[in-house]
Chain A
Amino acid sequence: MPGAFEGETVTRRRFMSGGALAAGGIASAAFGLPALGFALGPLFTDGTEDPWQDVGAEADFNPETYVSKTMNIQADAGEAGKTTVYVRKYDESVDEPSPSDIEQGLEPLPSVAISTRCAHLGCPVRYYQDPGRFVCPCHGGIYDSQGKVDGGPPVRPLDRHYSRVTSDGRVQVGERFSVNSELRRFSPRDPSNHLDGLWKYLYPARPST
Protein backbone atom coordinates (compact mmCIF):
# COMPACT_ATOMS: atom_id res chain seq x y z
CA MET A 1 0.00 0.00 0.00
CA PRO A 2 1.63 3.29 -1.02
CA GLY A 3 2.11 5.69 1.88
CA ALA A 4 1.68 3.01 4.53
CA PHE A 5 4.44 2.19 7.01
CA GLU A 6 6.55 -0.87 6.48
CA GLY A 7 4.51 -4.02 7.18
CA GLU A 8 1.17 -2.18 7.39
CA THR A 9 -1.60 -2.68 4.85
CA VAL A 10 -3.32 0.70 5.24
CA THR A 11 -2.18 4.26 5.90
CA ARG A 12 -2.71 5.46 9.45
CA ARG A 13 -4.65 8.50 8.21
CA ARG A 14 -7.02 6.26 6.29
CA PHE A 15 -7.39 3.91 9.25
CA MET A 16 -8.23 6.83 11.56
CA SER A 17 -10.83 8.34 9.22
CA GLY A 18 -12.38 4.92 8.68
CA GLY A 19 -12.48 4.40 12.44
CA ALA A 20 -14.09 7.80 13.03
CA LEU A 21 -16.74 7.09 10.40
CA ALA A 22 -17.46 3.67 11.89
CA ALA A 23 -17.75 5.12 15.39
CA GLY A 24 -20.18 7.77 14.13
CA GLY A 25 -22.18 5.16 12.29
CA ILE A 26 -22.42 2.91 15.34
CA ALA A 27 -23.41 5.84 17.55
CA SER A 28 -26.15 6.90 15.11
CA ALA A 29 -27.41 3.35 14.73
CA ALA A 30 -27.46 2.97 18.52
CA PHE A 31 -30.25 5.52 18.81
CA GLY A 32 -31.65 5.34 15.27
CA LEU A 33 -32.47 1.65 15.08
CA PRO A 34 -34.29 1.35 18.42
CA ALA A 35 -36.28 4.50 17.60
CA LEU A 36 -37.23 3.11 14.18
CA GLY A 37 -38.21 -0.24 15.68
CA PHE A 38 -40.24 1.60 18.30
CA ALA A 39 -42.16 3.50 15.62
CA LEU A 40 -42.66 0.42 13.44
CA GLY A 41 -43.54 -1.87 16.36
CA PRO A 42 -47.30 -1.96 15.70
CA LEU A 43 -46.62 -3.60 12.33
CA PHE A 44 -45.23 -6.69 13.98
CA THR A 45 -47.18 -7.02 17.21
CA ASP A 46 -50.58 -8.59 17.49
CA GLY A 47 -52.66 -5.93 19.23
CA THR A 48 -55.84 -7.94 19.63
CA GLU A 49 -56.96 -8.38 23.22
CA ASP A 50 -59.43 -10.83 24.71
CA PRO A 51 -62.08 -10.30 22.08
CA TRP A 52 -65.24 -11.89 23.45
CA GLN A 53 -67.90 -9.34 24.29
CA ASP A 54 -71.43 -9.89 25.47
CA VAL A 55 -74.04 -8.42 23.12
CA GLY A 56 -77.25 -9.74 24.68
CA ALA A 57 -79.37 -12.77 25.55
CA GLU A 58 -80.01 -15.42 22.92
CA ALA A 59 -83.69 -14.43 22.87
CA ASP A 60 -82.79 -10.90 21.66
CA PHE A 61 -81.85 -12.22 18.25
CA ASN A 62 -83.85 -13.83 15.49
CA PRO A 63 -83.10 -15.40 12.10
CA GLU A 64 -85.09 -12.83 10.07
CA THR A 65 -83.49 -9.48 10.78
CA TYR A 66 -80.32 -7.92 12.07
CA VAL A 67 -80.12 -6.35 15.50
CA SER A 68 -77.47 -3.65 15.86
CA LYS A 69 -75.20 -3.86 18.88
CA THR A 70 -72.28 -1.74 20.02
CA MET A 71 -68.94 -3.29 20.79
CA ASN A 72 -65.45 -2.09 21.63
CA ILE A 73 -62.69 -2.63 19.14
CA GLN A 74 -60.22 -0.36 20.96
CA ALA A 75 -60.78 -0.40 24.68
CA ASP A 76 -58.62 2.68 25.34
CA ALA A 77 -60.07 5.04 22.74
CA GLY A 78 -63.41 5.91 24.32
CA GLU A 79 -66.25 6.66 21.91
CA ALA A 80 -63.90 6.46 18.94
CA GLY A 81 -62.99 2.87 19.82
CA LYS A 82 -66.58 1.63 19.60
CA THR A 83 -68.17 0.10 16.55
CA THR A 84 -71.54 -1.28 15.60
CA VAL A 85 -72.05 -4.92 14.74
CA TYR A 86 -75.19 -6.35 13.14
CA VAL A 87 -76.16 -9.67 14.71
CA ARG A 88 -78.66 -12.20 13.39
CA LYS A 89 -79.26 -15.81 14.38
CA TYR A 90 -77.84 -18.30 11.89
CA ASP A 91 -80.60 -19.77 9.70
CA GLU A 92 -79.61 -22.82 7.69
CA SER A 93 -82.47 -22.34 5.23
CA VAL A 94 -81.07 -18.92 4.23
CA ASP A 95 -77.40 -18.86 5.16
CA GLU A 96 -74.93 -20.89 3.21
CA PRO A 97 -72.22 -22.43 5.40
CA SER A 98 -68.68 -21.13 5.02
CA PRO A 99 -66.40 -23.43 2.96
CA SER A 100 -63.87 -23.06 5.79
CA ASP A 101 -66.30 -24.70 8.22
CA ILE A 102 -67.17 -27.51 5.80
CA GLU A 103 -63.52 -28.35 5.14
CA GLN A 104 -62.68 -28.43 8.84
CA GLY A 105 -65.88 -30.29 9.74
CA LEU A 106 -67.06 -27.52 12.04
CA GLU A 107 -70.56 -26.42 12.92
CA PRO A 108 -71.45 -23.02 11.44
CA LEU A 109 -71.20 -20.07 13.84
CA PRO A 110 -74.39 -19.67 15.90
CA SER A 111 -74.87 -16.05 14.80
CA VAL A 112 -74.15 -14.07 11.68
CA ALA A 113 -72.35 -11.04 13.13
CA ILE A 114 -71.63 -8.54 10.38
CA SER A 115 -69.13 -5.75 10.88
CA THR A 116 -70.32 -2.31 9.80
CA ARG A 117 -66.90 -1.42 8.37
CA CYS A 118 -67.42 -1.05 4.63
CA ALA A 119 -65.04 -3.19 2.59
CA HIS A 120 -64.38 -0.28 0.26
CA LEU A 121 -62.70 2.34 2.46
CA GLY A 122 -64.02 1.68 5.93
CA CYS A 123 -67.02 3.97 6.39
CA PRO A 124 -69.82 2.61 8.57
CA VAL A 125 -72.57 0.82 6.60
CA ARG A 126 -76.19 0.74 7.68
CA TYR A 127 -78.71 -2.06 7.22
CA TYR A 128 -82.06 -1.29 5.56
CA GLN A 129 -84.65 -3.91 6.40
CA ASP A 130 -87.07 -3.43 3.49
CA PRO A 131 -84.71 -4.00 0.58
CA GLY A 132 -82.54 -6.20 2.80
CA ARG A 133 -79.40 -4.31 1.89
CA PHE A 134 -76.40 -2.85 3.68
CA VAL A 135 -75.63 0.58 2.23
CA CYS A 136 -72.50 2.65 2.73
CA PRO A 137 -73.03 6.43 2.83
CA CYS A 138 -69.56 7.40 1.61
CA HIS A 139 -69.19 5.99 -1.88
CA GLY A 140 -72.38 4.03 -2.44
CA GLY A 141 -71.29 0.47 -1.70
CA ILE A 142 -74.29 -1.89 -1.51
CA TYR A 143 -74.31 -5.38 0.04
CA ASP A 144 -77.06 -7.98 0.17
CA SER A 145 -78.42 -9.37 3.43
CA GLN A 146 -75.52 -11.86 3.58
CA GLY A 147 -73.07 -8.98 3.34
CA LYS A 148 -72.02 -9.94 -0.18
CA VAL A 149 -71.29 -7.15 -2.64
CA ASP A 150 -74.37 -6.14 -4.61
CA GLY A 151 -73.08 -2.97 -6.21
CA GLY A 152 -70.67 -0.09 -5.95
CA PRO A 153 -66.95 -0.10 -5.33
CA PRO A 154 -66.38 -2.67 -2.52
CA VAL A 155 -64.01 -5.48 -3.46
CA ARG A 156 -65.21 -8.16 -1.05
CA PRO A 157 -68.13 -8.90 1.28
CA LEU A 158 -68.50 -7.19 4.64
CA ASP A 159 -66.26 -8.55 7.39
CA ARG A 160 -67.79 -10.69 10.12
CA HIS A 161 -67.10 -11.45 13.75
CA TYR A 162 -66.83 -14.83 15.42
CA SER A 163 -69.78 -15.58 17.66
CA ARG A 164 -70.66 -18.07 20.38
CA VAL A 165 -73.42 -18.74 22.87
CA THR A 166 -72.37 -19.25 26.48
CA SER A 167 -73.87 -21.96 28.68
CA ASP A 168 -76.13 -19.40 30.36
CA GLY A 169 -77.63 -18.34 27.02
CA ARG A 170 -75.71 -15.14 26.34
CA VAL A 171 -74.57 -14.31 22.81
CA GLN A 172 -70.95 -13.24 22.59
CA VAL A 173 -69.21 -11.64 19.65
CA GLY A 174 -65.49 -12.06 19.15
CA GLU A 175 -62.67 -11.31 16.79
CA ARG A 176 -63.23 -9.89 13.34
CA PHE A 177 -62.51 -11.96 10.25
CA SER A 178 -62.72 -11.23 6.57
CA VAL A 179 -64.52 -13.35 3.98
CA ASN A 180 -64.23 -13.67 0.23
CA SER A 181 -67.16 -13.94 -2.15
CA GLU A 182 -67.63 -17.65 -1.22
CA LEU A 183 -67.68 -16.67 2.49
CA ARG A 184 -64.33 -18.45 3.00
CA ARG A 185 -62.70 -17.08 6.14
CA PHE A 186 -59.47 -15.08 6.12
CA SER A 187 -57.61 -13.27 8.86
CA PRO A 188 -58.88 -9.68 9.08
CA ARG A 189 -57.78 -7.53 6.17
CA ASP A 190 -58.00 -3.82 5.69
CA PRO A 191 -60.88 -2.46 3.66
CA SER A 192 -60.10 -2.31 -0.06
CA ASN A 193 -57.97 -5.48 0.09
CA HIS A 194 -59.14 -8.11 -2.41
CA LEU A 195 -59.61 -11.73 -1.33
CA ASP A 196 -60.64 -13.39 -4.59
CA GLY A 197 -58.69 -14.88 -7.47
CA LEU A 198 -55.07 -13.92 -7.96
CA TRP A 199 -55.71 -10.56 -6.27
CA LYS A 200 -55.60 -12.13 -2.84
CA TYR A 201 -51.89 -12.88 -3.16
CA LEU A 202 -51.23 -9.11 -3.32
CA TYR A 203 -52.83 -8.64 0.11
CA PRO A 204 -51.27 -11.25 2.43
CA ALA A 205 -52.11 -11.67 6.11
CA ARG A 206 -50.20 -9.32 8.42
CA PRO A 207 -48.72 -9.98 11.86
CA SER A 208 -50.81 -7.20 13.45
CA THR A 209 -54.13 -8.98 12.92
Chain B
Amino acid sequence: MSRLTPPLPKFLRPAPPRPGEDGTGRTGDGDGNDSGGAPSRADQLRDGAVEGTAQVIGYIDERTGTSPFLRGFLYRKTPKGTNWFYTLGSATMFAFLSQAVTGVFLAMYYDPAASRAYESAAHITNEVFLGELVRGMHRWGSTVMIVLIFLHLGRTFVFGAYKYPRELNWVIGVLLLVMTLAMGFTGYLLPFDQRSFWATVVGVNINASSPIMGPFVADFLRGGAEFGEATLSRFYALHMLLIPGILAVLIGAHLYLVAKLGTTAPPWLKAEKKELSEEEI
Protein backbone atom coordinates (compact mmCIF):
# COMPACT_ATOMS: atom_id res chain seq x y z
CA MET B 1 0.00 0.00 0.00
CA SER B 2 1.42 3.36 -0.99
CA ARG B 3 2.49 5.68 1.79
CA LEU B 4 0.42 8.45 0.25
CA THR B 5 -2.89 6.85 1.12
CA PRO B 6 -4.64 8.14 4.23
CA PRO B 7 -4.80 5.94 7.30
CA LEU B 8 -7.51 3.34 6.83
CA PRO B 9 -10.21 2.85 9.44
CA LYS B 10 -9.36 0.06 11.87
CA PHE B 11 -11.72 -2.52 10.43
CA LEU B 12 -10.12 -2.22 7.01
CA ARG B 13 -6.55 -2.48 8.24
CA PRO B 14 -4.75 -5.78 7.84
CA ALA B 15 -4.46 -7.57 11.14
CA PRO B 16 -0.95 -7.73 12.58
CA PRO B 17 0.57 -11.24 12.62
CA ARG B 18 -0.38 -13.34 15.59
CA PRO B 19 2.34 -14.78 17.79
CA GLY B 20 3.55 -18.01 16.23
CA GLU B 21 2.68 -16.94 12.66
CA ASP B 22 5.58 -16.21 10.38
CA GLY B 23 4.59 -12.59 9.90
CA THR B 24 4.59 -12.83 6.09
CA GLY B 25 1.04 -14.13 5.94
CA ARG B 26 -1.49 -11.33 5.63
CA THR B 27 0.18 -8.11 4.62
CA GLY B 28 -2.78 -6.25 3.25
CA ASP B 29 -1.47 -6.45 -0.33
CA GLY B 30 -4.64 -8.25 -1.27
CA ASP B 31 -2.88 -11.48 -2.10
CA GLY B 32 -2.20 -12.39 1.47
CA ASN B 33 -3.73 -15.36 3.15
CA ASP B 34 -3.66 -17.01 6.49
CA SER B 35 -0.61 -19.10 7.11
CA GLY B 36 -1.13 -22.48 5.54
CA GLY B 37 -4.44 -23.50 3.92
CA ALA B 38 -6.31 -21.84 1.04
CA PRO B 39 -7.92 -18.42 1.77
CA SER B 40 -11.59 -18.62 2.69
CA ARG B 41 -14.25 -16.96 0.56
CA ALA B 42 -14.81 -14.31 3.23
CA ASP B 43 -11.12 -13.52 3.37
CA GLN B 44 -10.94 -13.15 -0.39
CA LEU B 45 -13.91 -10.85 -0.40
CA ARG B 46 -12.49 -8.74 2.38
CA ASP B 47 -9.09 -8.51 0.81
CA GLY B 48 -10.67 -7.60 -2.51
CA ALA B 49 -12.67 -4.86 -0.84
CA VAL B 50 -9.56 -3.52 0.89
CA GLU B 51 -7.64 -3.58 -2.36
CA GLY B 52 -10.45 -1.91 -4.31
CA THR B 53 -10.99 0.81 -1.73
CA ALA B 54 -7.29 1.51 -1.56
CA GLN B 55 -7.14 1.79 -5.33
CA VAL B 56 -10.05 4.24 -5.53
CA ILE B 57 -8.69 6.33 -2.67
CA GLY B 58 -5.23 6.19 -4.19
CA TYR B 59 -6.55 7.31 -7.59
CA ILE B 60 -8.30 10.36 -6.10
CA ASP B 61 -5.50 11.13 -3.69
CA GLU B 62 -2.77 11.05 -6.30
CA ARG B 63 -4.66 13.64 -8.33
CA THR B 64 -5.90 15.95 -5.55
CA GLY B 65 -3.41 15.71 -2.70
CA THR B 66 -6.29 15.15 -0.32
CA SER B 67 -4.55 12.98 2.22
CA PRO B 68 -1.75 15.35 3.28
CA PHE B 69 -4.44 18.00 3.66
CA LEU B 70 -6.77 15.71 5.60
CA ARG B 71 -3.92 14.44 7.75
CA GLY B 72 -3.06 18.01 8.75
CA PHE B 73 -6.71 18.92 9.19
CA LEU B 74 -8.08 15.91 11.04
CA TYR B 75 -5.05 14.42 12.80
CA ARG B 76 -3.68 17.59 14.32
CA LYS B 77 -2.50 17.52 17.90
CA THR B 78 -4.85 18.70 20.60
CA PRO B 79 -3.74 20.01 23.95
CA LYS B 80 -3.93 18.00 27.12
CA GLY B 81 -7.21 18.51 28.94
CA THR B 82 -9.36 18.72 25.79
CA ASN B 83 -12.86 17.80 26.94
CA TRP B 84 -16.50 17.65 25.94
CA PHE B 85 -16.85 21.43 25.96
CA TYR B 86 -14.66 21.46 22.86
CA THR B 87 -17.38 19.69 20.89
CA LEU B 88 -19.81 22.61 21.08
CA GLY B 89 -18.41 24.18 17.92
CA SER B 90 -18.85 21.07 15.80
CA ALA B 91 -22.23 20.52 17.44
CA THR B 92 -23.24 23.96 16.17
CA MET B 93 -21.93 23.08 12.73
CA PHE B 94 -23.96 19.88 12.65
CA ALA B 95 -27.02 21.85 13.72
CA PHE B 96 -26.33 24.09 10.70
CA LEU B 97 -25.96 21.07 8.41
CA SER B 98 -29.22 19.65 9.71
CA GLN B 99 -30.91 22.99 9.07
CA ALA B 100 -29.43 23.10 5.57
CA VAL B 101 -30.62 19.61 4.66
CA THR B 102 -34.12 19.91 6.15
CA GLY B 103 -34.39 23.42 4.68
CA VAL B 104 -33.59 22.23 1.17
CA PHE B 105 -36.32 19.61 1.37
CA LEU B 106 -38.85 21.99 2.92
CA ALA B 107 -38.21 24.32 -0.03
CA MET B 108 -39.50 21.58 -2.34
CA TYR B 109 -43.02 21.98 -0.92
CA TYR B 110 -43.03 25.58 0.31
CA ASP B 111 -44.49 28.39 -1.80
CA PRO B 112 -43.31 31.90 -0.87
CA ALA B 113 -46.36 33.76 -2.18
CA ALA B 114 -48.31 35.80 0.35
CA SER B 115 -51.56 34.09 -0.56
CA ARG B 116 -50.07 30.57 -0.67
CA ALA B 117 -47.38 30.50 2.04
CA TYR B 118 -49.61 29.57 4.95
CA GLU B 119 -51.43 26.86 2.98
CA SER B 120 -48.22 25.33 1.69
CA ALA B 121 -46.71 25.28 5.19
CA ALA B 122 -49.89 23.68 6.53
CA HIS B 123 -49.74 21.19 3.63
CA ILE B 124 -46.20 20.22 4.67
CA THR B 125 -47.26 19.65 8.25
CA ASN B 126 -50.55 17.88 7.66
CA GLU B 127 -50.28 15.99 4.39
CA VAL B 128 -46.72 15.44 3.20
CA PHE B 129 -45.21 12.13 4.36
CA LEU B 130 -42.94 12.87 7.36
CA GLY B 131 -43.65 16.56 6.75
CA GLU B 132 -44.41 17.24 10.38
CA LEU B 133 -41.10 15.63 11.37
CA VAL B 134 -38.97 17.50 8.85
CA ARG B 135 -40.66 20.82 9.53
CA GLY B 136 -40.35 20.15 13.25
CA MET B 137 -36.66 19.36 12.89
CA HIS B 138 -36.14 22.64 11.04
CA ARG B 139 -38.26 24.62 13.49
CA TRP B 140 -36.74 23.19 16.68
CA GLY B 141 -33.30 22.80 15.13
CA SER B 142 -33.16 26.56 14.70
CA THR B 143 -33.58 26.98 18.45
CA VAL B 144 -31.04 24.24 19.12
CA MET B 145 -28.54 25.98 16.86
CA ILE B 146 -28.98 29.31 18.66
CA VAL B 147 -28.56 27.63 22.06
CA LEU B 148 -25.46 25.76 20.88
CA ILE B 149 -23.88 28.83 19.33
CA PHE B 150 -24.26 30.72 22.61
CA LEU B 151 -22.83 27.80 24.61
CA HIS B 152 -19.91 27.68 22.16
CA LEU B 153 -19.43 31.43 22.55
CA GLY B 154 -19.52 31.08 26.33
CA ARG B 155 -17.00 28.22 26.24
CA THR B 156 -14.65 30.30 24.09
CA PHE B 157 -15.00 33.25 26.42
CA VAL B 158 -14.63 31.39 29.70
CA PHE B 159 -11.66 29.35 28.45
CA GLY B 160 -9.97 32.50 27.14
CA ALA B 161 -9.78 30.91 23.69
CA TYR B 162 -10.38 34.29 22.01
CA LYS B 163 -6.92 35.61 22.96
CA TYR B 164 -3.91 36.09 20.69
CA PRO B 165 -3.53 34.70 18.05
CA ARG B 166 -7.22 33.74 17.80
CA GLU B 167 -8.86 37.19 17.89
CA LEU B 168 -9.85 37.01 14.22
CA ASN B 169 -11.60 33.72 14.79
CA TRP B 170 -13.61 35.39 17.56
CA VAL B 171 -14.59 38.13 15.12
CA ILE B 172 -15.64 35.57 12.50
CA GLY B 173 -17.55 33.75 15.23
CA VAL B 174 -19.45 36.91 16.13
CA LEU B 175 -20.33 37.39 12.45
CA LEU B 176 -21.55 33.78 12.41
CA LEU B 177 -23.69 34.54 15.46
CA VAL B 178 -25.20 37.60 13.78
CA MET B 179 -25.88 35.65 10.58
CA THR B 180 -27.48 32.84 12.58
CA LEU B 181 -29.76 35.31 14.34
CA ALA B 182 -30.59 36.79 10.94
CA MET B 183 -31.53 33.27 9.80
CA GLY B 184 -33.84 32.99 12.79
CA PHE B 185 -35.39 36.37 12.03
CA THR B 186 -35.95 35.79 8.32
CA GLY B 187 -37.16 32.21 8.84
CA TYR B 188 -39.73 33.23 11.41
CA LEU B 189 -41.86 35.01 8.80
CA LEU B 190 -42.08 32.08 6.39
CA PRO B 191 -45.00 30.10 7.96
CA PHE B 192 -46.93 33.36 7.44
CA ASP B 193 -49.43 32.79 10.22
CA GLN B 194 -50.65 35.52 12.56
CA ARG B 195 -47.80 35.07 15.00
CA SER B 196 -45.02 35.08 12.44
CA PHE B 197 -46.56 37.99 10.54
CA TRP B 198 -46.97 40.31 13.52
CA ALA B 199 -43.71 39.28 15.13
CA THR B 200 -41.94 40.21 11.91
CA VAL B 201 -43.86 43.49 11.66
CA VAL B 202 -42.59 44.33 15.15
CA GLY B 203 -39.07 43.11 14.32
CA VAL B 204 -38.83 45.20 11.16
CA ASN B 205 -40.18 48.24 13.02
CA ILE B 206 -37.52 47.75 15.69
CA ASN B 207 -35.03 48.08 12.83
CA ALA B 208 -36.89 51.21 11.73
CA SER B 209 -36.54 52.78 15.16
CA SER B 210 -32.82 53.43 14.75
CA PRO B 211 -32.16 57.05 13.73
CA ILE B 212 -31.37 58.11 10.12
CA MET B 213 -30.57 54.66 8.68
CA GLY B 214 -33.26 52.69 10.48
CA PRO B 215 -36.21 53.48 8.19
CA PHE B 216 -34.08 52.67 5.14
CA VAL B 217 -33.10 49.29 6.58
CA ALA B 218 -36.80 48.65 7.20
CA ASP B 219 -37.60 49.64 3.59
CA PHE B 220 -34.95 47.22 2.38
CA LEU B 221 -36.34 44.39 4.52
CA ARG B 222 -39.96 45.06 3.52
CA GLY B 223 -39.12 45.68 -0.12
CA GLY B 224 -41.06 48.95 0.12
CA ALA B 225 -42.93 51.04 2.62
CA GLU B 226 -45.53 48.42 3.48
CA PHE B 227 -45.54 44.73 4.30
CA GLY B 228 -46.62 42.61 1.39
CA GLU B 229 -45.80 40.15 -1.35
CA ALA B 230 -42.31 41.60 -1.81
CA THR B 231 -41.53 41.22 1.88
CA LEU B 232 -42.15 37.50 1.93
CA SER B 233 -40.15 36.71 -1.22
CA ARG B 234 -37.37 38.94 0.07
CA PHE B 235 -37.23 37.14 3.40
CA TYR B 236 -37.37 33.81 1.60
CA ALA B 237 -34.45 34.74 -0.67
CA LEU B 238 -32.42 36.06 2.25
CA HIS B 239 -33.26 33.01 4.34
CA MET B 240 -32.46 30.30 1.81
CA LEU B 241 -29.87 31.86 -0.51
CA LEU B 242 -28.00 34.89 0.73
CA ILE B 243 -27.48 34.23 4.44
CA PRO B 244 -26.73 30.47 4.12
CA GLY B 245 -24.10 31.33 1.49
CA ILE B 246 -22.49 33.84 3.82
CA LEU B 247 -22.72 31.32 6.68
CA ALA B 248 -21.02 28.60 4.63
CA VAL B 249 -18.14 30.89 3.66
CA LEU B 250 -17.71 32.09 7.25
CA ILE B 251 -17.82 28.52 8.61
CA GLY B 252 -15.08 27.62 6.13
CA ALA B 253 -12.92 30.51 7.33
CA HIS B 254 -13.68 29.67 10.97
CA LEU B 255 -12.62 26.03 10.50
CA TYR B 256 -9.53 26.99 8.53
CA LEU B 257 -8.37 29.17 11.40
CA VAL B 258 -9.15 26.48 13.97
CA ALA B 259 -7.06 23.99 12.00
CA LYS B 260 -4.30 26.50 11.42
CA LEU B 261 -4.05 27.83 14.97
CA GLY B 262 -5.09 24.74 16.91
CA THR B 263 -7.23 24.71 20.02
CA THR B 264 -6.30 26.05 23.42
CA ALA B 265 -5.73 24.08 26.59
CA PRO B 266 -8.38 24.62 29.23
CA PRO B 267 -7.32 27.41 31.59
CA TRP B 268 -7.12 25.23 34.69
CA LEU B 269 -4.17 23.32 33.21
CA LYS B 270 -2.03 26.44 33.49
CA ALA B 271 -2.62 26.44 37.24
CA GLU B 272 -1.05 22.98 37.44
CA LYS B 273 2.18 24.15 35.83
CA LYS B 274 5.12 23.49 38.11
CA GLU B 275 6.86 26.35 39.83
CA LEU B 276 10.01 27.45 38.04
CA SER B 277 13.15 26.38 39.84
CA GLU B 278 15.83 28.87 40.88
CA GLU B 279 18.08 27.99 37.92
CA GLU B 280 15.27 28.37 35.37
CA ILE B 281 14.56 31.89 36.61
Q: Are B227's CB and A123's CB within 8 A?
A: no
Q: Are A190's CB and B223's CB within 8 A?
A: no
Can you list, as one digit per residue, whether each of B101-117 has a CB less than 8 Å from chain A (1) or not (0)? Answer: 00000000000001100
* Of B114, B202, B204, B229, the contact of A138 (CB 8 Å cutoff): B202
Chain A residues numbered 115-134 whose CB sits less than 8 Å from any CB in chain B: 120-124
B-chain residues with CB within 8 Å of residue A180 when the two chains form the complex: none
Q: Are A77's CB and B229's CB within 8 A?
A: yes
* Of A79, A121, A193, the contact of B215 (CB 8 Å cutoff): A193
Contacts A76-B229, A190-B208, A192-B206 known; A203 to B114 CB distance under 8 Å? no
Q: Are B201's CB and A189's CB within 8 A?
A: no
Contacts A81-B114, A202-B212, A203-B215 known; A123 to B201 CB distance under 8 Å? yes
B-chain residues with CB within 8 Å of residue A204 when the two chains form the complex: 212
* Of B211, B214, B216, the contact of A43 (CB 8 Å cutoff): B216
Q: Are A76's CB and B215's CB within 8 A?
A: no
Q: Are A74's CB and B229's CB within 8 A?
A: yes
B-chain residues with CB within 8 Å of residue A209 when the two chains form the complex: 225
A-chain residues with CB within 8 Å of residue B215 when the two chains form the complex: 189-190, 193, 203, 206
Complex: how many Å from CA A77 to CA B226? 10
Asked if B188 is an interface residue, CB under 8 A from chain A, the answer is no
Complex: how many Å from CA A189 to CA B212? 12
Complex: how many Å from CA A72 to CA B81? 63
Asked if A48 is an interface residue, CB under 8 A from chain B, the answer is yes
B-chain residues with CB within 8 Å of residue A120 when the two chains form the complex: 205
Chain A residues numbered 28-77 whose CB sits less than 8 Å from any CB in chain B: 39-40, 42-43, 45, 47-48, 73-74, 76-77
Complex: how many Å from CA A42 to CA B192? 22
* Of A40, A74, A188, A208, the contact of B227 (CB 8 Å cutoff): A74
Asked if B224 is an interface residue, CB under 8 A from chain A, the answer is yes
Q: Are A42's CB and B208's CB within 8 A?
A: no
Q: Are B114's CB and A80's CB within 8 A?
A: yes
Q: Are A192's CB and B208's CB within 8 A?
A: yes
Complex: how many Å from CA A73 to CA B114? 14
CB distance from A77 to the nearest CB of B (A): 4
Chain A count of residues within 8 A CB distance of the other chain: 33
Asked if A78 is an interface residue, CB under 8 A from chain B, the answer is yes
B-chain residues with CB within 8 Å of residue A141 when the two chains form the complex: none
A-chain residues with CB within 8 Å of residue B209 when the two chains form the complex: 121, 190-193
* Of A42, A45, A191, A208, the contact of B205 (CB 8 Å cutoff): A191
Q: Are A74's CB and B211's CB within 8 A?
A: no
CB distance from A176 to the nearest CB of B (A): 9
Asked if B34 is an interface residue, CB under 8 A from chain A, the answer is no
Asked if B59 is an interface residue, CB under 8 A from chain A, the answer is no
Complex: how many Å from CA A122 to CA B208? 11
CB distance from B12 to the nearest CB of A (A): 46
Q: Are B205's CB and A122's CB within 8 A?
A: yes
Complex: how many Å from CA A39 to CA B218? 13
Complex: how many Å from CA A67 to CA B212? 36
Complex: how many Å from CA A80 to CA B227? 8
Complex: how many Å from CA A93 to CA B223? 42
CB distance from A138 to the nearest CB of B (A): 7
Complex: how many Å from CA A40 to CA B227? 16
CB distance from B6 to the nearest CB of A (A): 36
22 A-B contacts (beta carbon < 8 Å): A42-B219, A47-B224, A74-B229, A77-B114, A77-B229, A78-B115, A80-B192, A80-B228, A121-B209, A123-B198, A123-B201, A123-B202, A188-B225, A191-B208, A191-B209, A192-B205, A203-B211, A203-B214, A203-B215, A206-B215, A208-B224, A208-B225
